[in-house]
Structure formats: C-alpha cells, structure tokens
Amino acid sequence: MKAAYVIGHITVKNVEKWTEYRNKVPATLMPWGAELVLRGKLCSVLSGNHGHTDTVVIRFPDLKALNGWYSSPEYQSLIPLREKAAEVDLLSYEE
C-alpha cells in the first residue's frame, strides 16, 4: 500500500470558527486510520509565491482511505464551517 496525504494551505478568516473546525476534524480522521503529521505556520517563502499562512499535512494508509474520509458524511458536514472559517486549498498526494 502506498500512503496518501492531504496537504491543506490555509488563510484563517475567523479565528473562533477556525478553532471550532480544527477541534472537530480529528474525530472524522480516526475511522480512516489517518494521522495528523503537521499543523504549522509559514515562516518564509523561499522560492515562488505562496499566499497562505498555515499548512496542515495528514497521512492516510492509502488513497482509498483518504477519499473515503473526504467524502464521508462526517467530514462533509464540516465543510460549511470550514468555508466560513478560512480560505483552504486541499490537495491530495500519493507516495
């Protein structure tokens, strides 16, 4: 199996709503065997352009688990909150 990753580039618009969203996401990850690898703040852009201030990296056992998590009712129900809280670009990668 090849591990798969979600990388999110984030610009927070509403700190309170973002905190609420961040607190709810881990419960949606557990059934899919996912692991939060990084939640970080941008230090500098070493090359190119990057408009976001925060990044998250989540590892899944495989792409099937990643896609299952993203399309799950539990995660889908959080998307309206996420959209109010921040501008987020979510990308998926496979090793």
DSSP state of 33: T
pLDDT at 53: 96
Write out residues in the chain with pLDDT < 70, as ranges.
none
- Which residue ranges form the domains of the chain, and what is each CATH number? 4-39+51-94 (3.30.70.100)
Structure confidence by residue, pLDDT tens digits, 51-60: 999 999 999 9
pLDDT at 23: 97
pLDDT at 61: 98
pLDDT at 1: 79
pLDDT at 39: 95
CA distances, 17 to each of 4, 12, 40, 66, 71 (Å) = 27, 9, 18, 24, 21
